[in-house]
Amino acid sequence: MHLPDLEVAKKRGQSANIYIDLKEDYTAKFKDKKYFLRTYGCQMNVHDSEALRNYLETLGFQNTENLEEANVIVLNTCAIRENAKDKVIGFLGKCKYLKKNRDDVKIVLAGCMSEQPDVVKEIMTNHQYVDIIIGTHNIQDLPKLLLKEFSKQVVEVYSNSDEVIENMHYKRDSKISAWVNIMYGCDKFCTYCIVPYTRGRERSRKLESIVNEVKELKKQGYKEVTLLGQNVNAYGKDINETFSHLLECVAKTNIERIRFVTSHPWNFTDEMIEVIAKYKNIMPYIHLPIQSGSNKILKKMNRRYTKEEYLELFRKMKAKIPGVAITTDIIVGFPGETEADFLETLEVVKKCEYDGAYTFIFSKREGTPAAKMPDDTPLSVKEERLQRLNELVNFYSNKNNQKLLNREVEVLILGDSEKDSKKVFGYTDTMKLVNVDGPKSIIGKIVKVKITEAKSFSLDGEYVEDIVNV
């Protein structure tokens, strides 16, 4: 495990005094101290939390799941929808109560909420008991902030997001499947979305260091990597590279399973489809958010594709990638969405028969263009649309899952099943969750499983045999 080094500090033009001397051993200071870390939001945040964990444990803190005994509470927050923020504010209430009786607790607000000026203002005004507010571009600053004594709330949020730090270290949650950042930020500026404001502009990691990271993970025994970016198609634009080339290079490391999220339907090239189809270790699963089936709404969302273009891409993927499963994201109740627009969305769902979909009611995000668009659809109508949409989505995910009944599929077993501790769980190549009746010794292996029951959101199965690669 490592702490961020002075080189990074120098590169960022920061004064060295806020950085710590790596030669000194700080573990004594925090030896018997504990940290509690809660993560909200997307895979990006889950992975950032693995970096935060590394910093905390390197300093000597031990993990606790019990809030009451924590000396440091870190909330890695999400700002994508209002309810994400509400959850954090609710949790902060608990933390405030805890601090009433103890003066040795520090509360840290990290993640995307820290990058929203209105939220930071609110925390500074109404939640003074939060000790540290740290941004998404400078989580490396956490150790030094914890080491220093401050008499009042510290806000350390860097607006500069041009840099790409290559040598991040993580305390990974899994020893089987690993997240690998390939790029940071997003430039797409979909009109409803806060991410370009909280994560900054798109910047890619060097191809070579990504490939080296995957090789290293393989050496450590990892079976799967998931390449992470808000829009992986945009990988390499800033460094004269392409995502298809990166995918091919990662495939050639021979790591057993490769996944990637998220792909924007815009600029999903034929080369990408070809590479996915060509390599057996690139999983036949694509998350392809459509957001709406109405061209009028897609335009207002600034999604850069039409319904027809999306359907053509979808058709191509299904035709060229054997057995590919495709899932999507859909927003209902975007400003100006009429019943007719919504029916177009339902039509697309019927055409695509998605394997799954994440569905949301539009949430107004301060500072985004959509927040200023007139929105006169009552919430009750939006809720009713969401319900109708979910029924259709569940129908098709169930239909797709039923096709697997009594069939044998390959599953990477990741750990104990949450539903039944006697069972284990894993995912098919098409990213379907399977609870498996089988010995614990198959955890970490790709095994053959016979599907015995198929539901909308998961499958049940029985272990058949190990897969032996020849």
> How many binding residues for ligand SF4 (CB under 6 A)?
10
Among residues 362, 396, 425, 427, the one that binds ligand SAH under rule CB under 6 A: 362
Q: How far is the CB of 459 from ligand F3S (least distance, A)?
A: 27
231 binds ligand SAH (CB under 6 A): yes
72 binds ligand SAH (CB under 6 A): no
41 binds ligand F3S (CB under 6 A): yes
114 binds ligand F3S (CB under 6 A): no
DSSP 191-239: TT--HHHHH-S-EEPPHHHHHHHHHHHHHTT--EEEEE-TTGGGTTTTT
Angstrom distances, CA of residue 210 to CA of 59, 242, 257, 269, 307: 27, 13, 15, 21, 34
Q: Which does 189 bind (CB under 5 to 8 A by kind): ligand F3S, ligand SF4, ligand SAH, none?
A: ligand SF4
Q: Which does 196 bind (CB under 5 to 8 A by kind): ligand SAH, ligand F3S, ligand SF4, none?
A: ligand SF4
Q: How far is the CB of 24 from ligand SAH (least distance, A)?
A: 40
Burial of 456 from C-beta contacts in 10 A (0-12 / 13-18 / 19+): middle
194 binds ligand F3S (CB under 6 A): yes
105 binds ligand F3S (CB under 6 A): no
Q: Which does 79 bind (CB under 5 to 8 A by kind): ligand F3S, ligand SAH, ligand SF4, none?
A: ligand F3S
Q: Which does 41 bind (CB under 5 to 8 A by kind): ligand SF4, ligand SAH, ligand F3S, none?
A: ligand F3S
Sign of CA dihedral 418, 419, 424, 430: negative
195 binds ligand SF4 (CB under 6 A): yes
Strands 203-204 and 183-184: antiparallel
Whichever of 229 and 461 has its CB closer to ligand F3S, that residue is: 229
Q: Which residues pair with 459 in a beta bridge?
A: 434, 454
**CA gyration radius for the chain?**
23
CB 112 within 8 A of CB 198: yes
Distance CA 356, CA 329 (A): 9
Angstrom distances, CA of residue 425 to CA of 386, 420, 429, 462, 467: 30, 9, 13, 11, 16
Q: How far is the CB of 69 from ligand F3S (least distance, A)?
A: 27
Scanning 151-159, 163-171, 191-199, 372-380 for contacts with ligand SF4 by CB under 6 A, the matching segment is 191-199
193 binds ligand SF4 (CB under 6 A): yes
DSSP 357-417: EEEEE----TTSGGGGS-----HHHHHHHHHHHHHHHHHHHHHHHHTTTT-EEEEEEEEE-
Distance CA 146, CA 56 (A): 9
The contacts of residue 373 (CB under 8 Å, 6+ apart) are 191, 300, 335, 336
193 binds ligand SAH (CB under 6 A): yes
Distance CA 449, CA 362 (A): 39
> How many binding residues for ligand SAH (CB under 6 A)?
17
Report the side by side order of strands in the sheet with 356-361. 285-287, 325-332, 356-361
Whichever of 283 and 330 has its CB closer to ligand SF4, that residue is: 330
Scanning 123-131, 175-183, 195-203, 442-450 for contacts with ligand F3S by CB under 6 A, the matching segment is 195-203
287 binds ligand F3S (CB under 6 A): no
List residues binding ligand SAH (CB under 6 A). 80-81, 192-193, 195, 230-231, 262, 264, 289, 291, 329, 331, 360, 362-363, 365
List residues binding ligand SF4 (CB under 6 A). 186, 188-190, 193, 195-196, 230-231, 264
List residues binding ligand F3S (CB under 6 A). 41-42, 44-45, 78-80, 111-112, 194-195, 198-199
